[in-house]
Amino acid sequence: MSLLNSLGFILRHPLNRGHGAGALIRWVRWQLGSRLLPAPVLLSFVDGVRLLVEPGMTGVTGNVYCGLHEFEDMALVLHALRADDLFVDIGANVGSYTILGGAAGARVLAIEPIPSTFGWLARNIAVNGLGERLRALNLGLGRAEGRLRFTGGLDAMNHVLAEGEVAENLMEVPVRALDSVLDGESPILIKMDVEGFETEVLAGAERTLADPGLLAIIMELNGSGSRYGFDEDALHRDVLARGFATYRYRPFDRVLEPLNGARSGGGNTLYVRDAVRLAERVRSAPRFRLGIGGEI
């Protein structure tokens, strides 16, 4: 993302509206301070939980500038989960969503295939003392057990290597089906960020998708599946046919806005099985203190 695009994103972010000067000060402080300090920075995140951040973590630094990088989806995680719910974070990266699940009091299963990224995920769980409720697995997900080659030097954009694709820093990673990993456990919420491999991940989650306890899935279908020859429109229709409907969450109002089967215009789409139950959860959730100030 270019400098102008980054600054535009920061200033347009819902949590920075009316607070642009403070947001720019945070940006300047991070750009200068993170380069002067010899170690990762421990960021105050939400309700006392923290994140280890260092320069170049493109999937995390938005939390530094904006409080919650992916505002609607991250707020949904906070507002939808309750103590002892199970939240599954697929493609957890260094753990932003995982730690939010911990802040909400939930149990979290975090799955991250890239070993170096998994190391940061494990450190973020440890630094918050959440090891009893947050379980992290260093593996990939697919339709069956096996091994797949992943890219390793693309930060949040690492992905399963496509046929004919050439890349550096490749690694072979063990892969399992989500149904096998869960072994009968029932998640309330799933967040999936697998850079186009959603079709294969959901093929290994038939039992999980049929579980009536699964209220919602946060998933981005941005065309990346085409690198594997997957039809994301067909996948979208398949999820709808399983009893889910698409919504957008408005955190300030605590409202689920129907999208009438359409996907979100940008970013993740929220697929909801039971809108009545989910709406009651978000309405009755407590408020959470943000590390940048304010509450949500």
- pLDDT for 99-137, tens place per residue? 999 999 999 999 999 999 999 999 999 999 999 999 999
pLDDT at 230: 94
Does position 296 have pLDDT exceeding 70, yes or no? Answer: yes
- By CB neighbour count within 10 A (0-12 exposed, 13-18 middle, 19+ buried), where does 276 fall? exposed
Average pLDDT, the chain: 94
Evaluate whether 103 touches 221 at the Cβ level (below 8 Å).
no
Per-residue pLDDT tens for 196-224? 999 999 999 999 999 999 999 999 898 98
CA distance 89 to 210: 18
Classify strands 189-192 and 216-219 as parallel, antiparallel or unpaired.
Answer: parallel
CA distance 166 to 276: 47
Task: Look up the pTM and report it.
Answer: 0.95
Alpha-carbon Rg for the chain, nearest whole angstrom, is 18
HSE, CB side, 13 Å, CA atoms: give it for residue 96.
24
Report residue 295 as tokens: 């509450």
In order of start, what are the domains of the chain with their CATH numbers?
Answer: 69-284 (3.40.50.150)
What's the start-to-end Cα distance of the chain, in Å? 27
Evaluate whether 148 touches 142 at the Cβ level (below 8 Å).
yes
Q: Average pLDDT for residues 18-26, to the nearest whole number?
A: 94
H or E element in which residue 78 lies: helix 71-80
Evaluate whether 81 touches 184 at the Cβ level (below 8 Å).
no
pLDDT at 1: 61
